[in-house]
Structure 1
């Protein structure tokens, strides 16, 4: 089992075996969850773009074309910055 040592500044270096397994790179976010028994579960925040598919869908909402989305965005920007 890989182990790490806590520094006086509260920092820990994640062992290479764990970094490789989770495919962690500098700047990646890591989540820590404390379970009821006191164990800590560590996971990465990395997500595949495919996991985002359908997240903005609203039942009954008509899909918009790229042109319609561009129009709506332009309208929003015009309205937001009209008074400036």
Structure 2
């Protein structure tokens, strides 16, 4: 997919790209340069959502121990 840069430096993202990223008017995007020099377009709110979940991973708190879980599955009081 190709697009043209306007005289003021603006581009129109192809509809297929907007649809794939779920971009709607007002969506924020970030441009990141990869090690090979290519540029990656990332939806900002999706990246921050993933970051929030990563921070919570493994922090569910103490739960029942194995004996308590086994008692529940057996229907023991």
TM-score (norm 2): 0.58
Instruction: State the alpha-carbon separation in 1 of the partners of residues 54 and 45 from structure 2.
Output: 18
- Does 2:29 align with 1:15? no
Moved over 4 A (4+): 48-51, 53-56
TM-score (norm 1): 0.54
Consecutive unaligned residues in structure 1, runs of 5 or more: 57-84
CA-based RMSD: 2.8
After superposition, what is the alpha-carbon deviation per residue over 1:6-56, rounded to whole angstroms, capped at 9, x for unaligned? 000000000000001111001111010111221001110123868636959
User: Which of the two has greater helix per residue?
Assistant: 2
